């Protein structure tokens, strides 16, 4: 059974080890992430961000037992356990499949993941326009025509510039 777990970011490895010890075998853990390039003081810094914040998705056969769930709730590094995950197994699997289809060979999400939910406005999260809000004027097959600070520009969809809907 898949479970959604809220974890303490600085204690993720401790939580993984405690889960393995308590369950008797290693659970499958899925944390969708982004690789973001930031420029500070003329230095390029690559940063990994989790798109779910401090939530992860975990699978183990023993999660279907309420006895196991009650014993796991007090592990180190665990903030909380999302109770509705029992009824949402299909949705969780669909989300994982969507993330895996739209990720690169290193497991980082591609821009195609965010294009699936594109609206009229967005914000750049990587590249030269980082943290700038834009408005989509036209969507074409392989490029976007956007308005950024009263300047119209065309952005190819296959570039390294990541953006998300606003």
CATH of the domain at 157: 2.30.30
What is the count of structural domains for the chain? 2
Looking at the structure, tell me whether residues 29 and 98 fall in a common domain: yes
Query: pLDDT tens for residues 39-56?
Result: 778 888 888 888 888 999
Residue 149 has pLDDT above 80, yes or no: yes
Interstrand relation of 55-59 and 2-7 (parallel, antiparallel or unpaired): antiparallel
Looking at the structure, tell me whether residues 53 and 24 fall in a common domain: yes
The partner residues of 35 in beta bridges, in order of sequence, read 48
DSSP letters, 35-54, are EEEEEETTEEEEEEEETTTT
Q: How far is CA 103 from CA 46, 63, 83, 98, in A?
A: 17, 27, 28, 9
Looking at the structure, tell me whether residues 144 and 78 fall in a common domain: no
Residue 28 has pLDDT above 90, yes or no: yes
Task: Compute the mean pLDDT over every residue in the chain, rounded to the nearest whole number.
Answer: 83
Print the domain residue range for 149. Answer: 116-165
Looking at the structure, tell me whether residues 120 and 57 fall in a common domain: no
Question: Are residues 58 and 75 in contact, defined by beta-carbon separation less than 8 angstroms?
Answer: no
Percentage with pLDDT > 70 across the chain: 92
What length does the chain have? Answer: 166
Of 14-23, 36-45, 70-79, 155-164, the least confident:
155-164
Looking at the structure, tell me whether residues 155 and 138 fall in a common domain: yes
When pLDDT is averaged across residues 4-24 and rounded to a whole number, the result is 90
């Amino acid at each position: 059974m898949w479970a959604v777990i809220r974890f303490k970011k600085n204690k993720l490895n401790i939580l993984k080890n405690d889960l393995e010890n308590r369950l008797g075998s290693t659970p499958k853990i899925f944390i969708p992430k982004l690789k973001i390039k930031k420029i500070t003081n003329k230095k390029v810094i690559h940063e990994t961000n989790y798109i779910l914040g401090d939530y992860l998705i975990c699978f183990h056969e023993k999660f279907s037992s309420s006895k196991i769930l009650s014993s796991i709730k007090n592990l180190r590094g665990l903030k909380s356990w999302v109770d509705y995950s029992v009824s949402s197994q299909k949705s969780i699997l669909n989300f994982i499949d969507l993330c895996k289809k739209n990720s690169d060979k290193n497991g980082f999400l591609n821009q195609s993941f965010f294009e699936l939910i594109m609206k009229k406005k967005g914000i750049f999260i990587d590249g030269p326009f980082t943290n700038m809000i834009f408005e989509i004027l036209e969507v074409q097959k392989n490029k976007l025509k956007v308005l950024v600070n009263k300047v119209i520009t065309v952005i190819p969809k296959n570039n390294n510039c990541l953006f998300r809907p606003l």
